[in-house]
Amino acid sequence: MILHEFLSFEVLRLIWWLILGVLLIGFALTDGFDMGAAALLPFVAKTDTERRVVINTMGPVWEGNQVWFILGGGAIFAAFPPLYAISFSGFYLAMFVILSALIFRPVAFKFRSKREDPKWRSRWDNVLVFSGATPALLFGVAVGNVMLGVPFHLTPDLHAIYEGGAFGKLFGLLRPFAILCGVVSLAMLVMHGAGWLVLKTEGAIAARARLYGSRAALVVLAGYALAGIWLAVGIDSFAYVTPPAPDGPSNPLAWQVVHGGSWLAAYGERPWIVIAPLLGFIGTAMAWRALRSGGELSPLGWSKLGIFGMISSVGLTIFPFLLPSNTHPDSSLSVWTATSSHQTLFVMLVATAIFLPMIMAYTAWVYKVLWGKVTEDQVTDPDSHSY
């Protein structure tokens, strides 16, 4: 009870905003290299045995990595219900495509090697490429749309209405800035996947991964810089006329929001957040250098730092907003206006404090057990249990 009283509504809201960020970054750092490696499959693996090597670097870990995605969705559902309702409704078709890709991935893992037919295996390889590249692209497109604002509004009784229309829920998301964010996201995870393959493979596969990963890193650096310039000169931000009460009711309509100005004004108000984009640039540049210079563990480590910085920069730049509305700015959702109750956030925090460390410890143990390279001899051994 003392802890409950000490953790005010404002503090709990901030904690859950941070936890959501940790979960989404955790998903990008773990399942991100799976998606990147899958997208690289036809480029780094030229023979059937080489493709099996690449697939077996992902096969034992993808299920555990995807837990972070499930946890992130659960956190949005329980801690930020309006955000869950509006985003999953407005991005419904895009989410359906992403989930289809994620569902087909394990099917491809299981069925690819069931037949010796090259055409059969090639089709499943294409499915794996789709399952890696499509989510990586569309997650970035979604981030771009968040920064642009989404067409929805809330009725006086807080009923959410998305104004994009059926096809607008997919094709309406493909705005130029959002597409740029999607390209940066795809290149970022390709770079990350290349770092993973450098760590887990050897010979020709690792050499090709270095080549394509270093190229992807250059695309990330150029695209991320271009996105920053675009934000500065071509995209209006959102701001409260008067700051909402951090411990006030979860009612977005109680506060007036204006659409105008620059998102980069946040760096004048909170200069310390510049560390996030700096980490994004530094991590990506060092990942490029490590891929070119022959490092084995360092490319993956530096790419993790770059991904951490770039994703963090988005959250810190738009804070406290979670999902702005570009048609009815007063309906915009923020950390202060779109959370569950004080009691709900507290109970969830207690459960998270118990189970999240267990998940992280188990994940670390799995990676320790599976440490080492996947070789052609291992996957061709008839007594092995490889894909």
In this predicted structure, what is the pLDDT of residue 162?
80
- Neighbouring C-alpha atoms within 13 Å toward the C-beta of 69: 18
In this predicted structure, what is the pLDDT of residue 284?
97
pLDDT at 302 over 80: yes
Model confidence pLDDT, tens digit, residues 94-124? 888 999 998 999 899 888 888 888 899 999 9
Model confidence pLDDT, tens digit, residues 332-343? 999 999 999 999
pLDDT at 230 over 80: yes
Q: If 0-12 CB within 10 Å is exposed, 13-18 middle and 19+ buried, where does residue 111 land?
A: middle
pLDDT at 186 over 90: yes
What are 83's two structure tokens? Answer: 């955000």
More confident residue, 366 or 183: 183
In this predicted structure, what is the pLDDT of residue 5?
63
Report percent pLDDT > 70 for the chain. Answer: 96
Name 166's Cβ contacts closer than 8 Å, sequence gap at least 6: 93
In this predicted structure, what is the pLDDT of residue 79?
92
In this predicted structure, what is the pLDDT of residue 120?
92
Alpha helices for 162-202 (secondary structure H): 176-200
pLDDT at 133 over 90: yes
In this predicted structure, what is the pLDDT of residue 165?
59
Mean pLDDT of all residues belonging to the chain: 90
The Cα 236–Cα 239 span in angstroms is: 10
In this predicted structure, what is the pLDDT of residue 158?
84
The Cα 16–Cα 9 span in angstroms is: 11
* DSSP 8-state class, residue 243: P
For residue 117, the SS3 value is coil
pLDDT at 1 over 70: no
Contacts 24+ apart (CB under 8 A), 362-366: 362/64, 363/30, 363/64, 366/60, 366/61, 366/64
Q: Which of 3-7, 153-157, 366-370 has the lowest mean pLDDT?
A: 3-7
In this predicted structure, what is the pLDDT of residue 319?
93
The Cα 371–Cα 263 span in angstroms is: 42
The Cα 163–Cα 175 span in angstroms is: 16
pLDDT band at 167 (very low <50, low <70, confident <90, very high): low
Report percent pLDDT > 90 for the chain. Answer: 59
pLDDT band at 4 (very low <50, low <70, confident <90, very high): low
In this predicted structure, what is the pLDDT of residue 170?
65
In this predicted structure, what is the pLDDT of residue 114?
85
The Cα 169–Cα 278 span in angstroms is: 33
In this predicted structure, what is the pLDDT of residue 209?
96
- Whole-prediction pTM value? 0.92
pLDDT band at 3 (very low <50, low <70, confident <90, very high): low
pLDDT at 154 over 80: yes
* DSSP 8-state class, residue 173: G
Main-chain phi, psi angles of 334, to 5 degrees: -140, 175
In this predicted structure, what is the pLDDT of residue 359?
85
Q: How many CB atoms lie within 10 A of CB 47?
A: 11
In this predicted structure, what is the pLDDT of residue 73?
87
For residues 307-320, average pLDDT: 95
In this predicted structure, what is the pLDDT of residue 2?
57
What are 382's two structure tokens? Answer: 């008839």
For residues 208-228, average pLDDT: 96
Phi/psi-derived region of residue 372, left when phi > 0, alpha when psi is between -120 and 50, beta in every other case: left
More confident residue, 372 or 324: 324
Domain range list for the chain: 2-380
H or E, element range at 153: strand 152-154
